[in-house]
Amino acid sequence: MFHKEGYKIIFIAILSFVAALLLTDKFVHIPWLRISIQLVFVFLFVMILQFFRNPNRKIVPNENYFLAPVDGKVVVIEEVFEEEYFKDKRLQVSIFMSPINVHVTRYGASGKIKFSKYHPGKYLVAWHPKASTENERTTVVIETKQFGEVLYRQIAGALARRIVNYAEEGQQVVQGEDAGFIKFGSRVDIYLPLGTKVDVALNQNAVGNQTVIASK
Phi, psi dihedrals of residue 94, rounded to the nearest 5°: -115, 140
Active site residue 186: yes
Report the distance separating Cα 126 and Cα 17, nearest Å.
30
Q: Which residues contact 114 (CB under 8 A, 6 or more apart)?
A: 141, 142, 143, 149, 169
Provide the angle, in degrees to the nearest 10, between the axes of the packed helices 31-51 and 7-27. Answer: 180
Q: Angle at the Cα of 77 (from 72 to 78), degrees rounded to 5?
A: 150
Report the distance separating Cα 3 and Cα 55, nearest Å.
9
Please say whether the beta carbons of 156 and 182 come within 8 A.
yes
Burial of 198 (0-12, 13-18, 19+ CB in 10 A): middle
Q: Which residues contact 90 (CB under 8 A, 6 or more apart)?
A: 79, 80, 81, 82, 151, 191, 192, 193, 194
**Catalytic: which of 94, 110, 132, 186?**
186
Report the distance separating Cα 9 and Cα 188, nearest Å.
23
Quickly count: other Cβ atoms within 10 Å of residue 108's Cβ. 30
Residues involved in catalysis: 186
